[in-house]
Amino acid sequence: MSKCVFLWSGDLKSFIGKLSETYQVYLPVKKGTQRFYKKYVPDLNNIVMGEVRPFEPLKAFFFRAKEVVAESFENRVPSPPADKPLAILGVKACDLKGFKVEDFVFSNNTDPDPFYLKNRERNLIISSDCTCAIDTCFCLALGLKPFPQENFDLNFSPIQDGYIVEVGSSKGESLIKQHTSYFKEVAKVQEDERYRQRNQVLQDVETNLKQFDVPSQDRFQGAVERNFDSKIWEDEAKTCVECGACNAICPTCHCFLLYDQKDEKKMERLRIWDSCMIKDFARVAGGANPRKKLWMRLRNRFEKKFDFFPKVANVYACTGCGRCISACPAKIDIRKVLKRLVIGS
């Protein structure tokens, strides 16, 4: 079992203040029914370390929506800004799974991405348990638990009066040692409370799966391939407006577009997020498009997540976070599509 310590609720803001001396700290705050990442300032209110995932995906801190990747076509990587590294707090298990896909794409190859690697190396992840579930949560169907088990430096489990803090890396252990005055020994009664709370959230997500009849990932194998020529794709794409929200909000989508821009002083090459649901996504220079129909692009999205990545990386490129369900103005529900693929209708 990993090392665990206890932090009193009253010491949380003070601890975050200490972190902000070394890091730019981002953490979830609640506004209405939504949670959003905000940069820490001393008077920041409505901080939520538990509950459910923020609306924005974690990938935005590591794979930027827009960034300069070359200047004047010199054979060097542009220097990163001299800002403090980031500490992202309140990260949930569904976002941490996104690292399995993003790392495979940007790290595990013969030409790793220096921008992504630098962000992974510099930045600090302080995750936290989900303490409730919303109706779009279906992480259990993808083999995840609603509490982090890997890919964090520290994990906070909110309980009465404070947080059980679990160490997940040498960076996290070093942080505990630097701030020992904040942390106490964990009592057995506190561990028992965390166990009960985690079980309750597991039950809440299980209720979601039953209510929406969501198939588990052991039934996904071959489902896209079997239905490659199915009418399911045309049927589900009828309401799509090609906004790309599902791609932008997804913690594992990673496609990007390179383009050049010039001003009076220099030429820059920029990288921006791209979307497989946009009409020009697959269009080549001569104007041909192998996915000219919207339903083909919808199929491509599911093929990538539920067929390609399991084959090449042994992971489904979906985390069950439900963000795409919430963001889609056409009300396309990934759980419904998966159910149709599994049963073939």
Please give the distance of CA 272 from its chain centroid, rounded to a whole number: 18
- In a shared domain, residues 158 and 227: no
- Per the structure, the complete domain to which residue 139 belongs is given by 4-59+75-212
> The whole model's pTM is what?
0.92
pLDDT band at 159 (very low <50, low <70, confident <90, very high): very high
pLDDT band at 263 (very low <50, low <70, confident <90, very high): confident
Contact, 96 vs 150, CB < 8 A?
Answer: yes
Percent of all residues in the chain with a pLDDT value above 90, rounded to a whole number: 84
Pairing of the two strands 267-273 and 256-262 = antiparallel
Structure tokens at 231: 């009418």
User: Partners of 261 in the beta sheet?
Assistant: 268
Residue 345 has pLDDT above 80, yes or no: no
How many folded domains does the chain comprise?
A: 2
User: Partners of 37 in the beta sheet?
Assistant: 28
User: What does the pLDDT read at residue 81?
Assistant: 61
- In a shared domain, residues 47 and 181: yes
Helix axes 114-122, 93-106, angle to 10 degrees: 140
- In a shared domain, residues 149 and 286: no
Residue 79 has pLDDT above 80, yes or no: no
User: What does the pLDDT read at residue 287?
Assistant: 85
Of 229, 236, 210, 211, nearest to 338 by C-alpha is: 236
Contact, 59 vs 115, CB < 8 A?
Answer: no
Dihedral sign for Cα 273, 276, 277, 278, please: positive
In a domain, 316, yes or no: yes
User: What does the pLDDT read at residue 25?
Assistant: 97
User: What does the pLDDT read at residue 82?
Assistant: 64
Which pLDDT tens digit goes with each residue over 55-66? 999 999 999 999
pLDDT band at 80 (very low <50, low <70, confident <90, very high): low
User: What does the pLDDT read at residue 228?
Assistant: 95
Rounded-to-integer distance, Cα 32 and Cα 207, Å: 24
- In a shared domain, residues 18 and 91: yes
- In a shared domain, residues 161 and 133: yes
Residue 262 has pLDDT above 90, yes or no: no
- In a shared domain, residues 247 and 317: yes
User: What does the pLDDT read at residue 283?
Assistant: 87
* For residues 91-114, average pLDDT: 92
In a domain, 8, yes or no: yes
- In a shared domain, residues 146 and 124: yes
pLDDT band at 70 (very low <50, low <70, confident <90, very high): confident
- In a shared domain, residues 241 and 149: no
Pinpoint the alpha helices (H) of the chain: 12-19, 93-106, 114-122, 170-178, 188-212, 223-226, 232-237, 245-249, 294-303, 309-313, 323-327, 334-343
Rounded-to-integer distance, Cα 254 and Cα 273, Å: 7
Which pLDDT tens digit goes with each residue over 267-304? 889 999 999 999 888 888 888 888 889 999 999 999 99
Q: What angle do CA 139, 140, 144 make, to 5 degrees?
A: 70
In a domain, 264, yes or no: no
- In a shared domain, residues 206 and 227: no
User: What does the pLDDT read at residue 75?
Assistant: 66
- In a shared domain, residues 21 and 160: yes
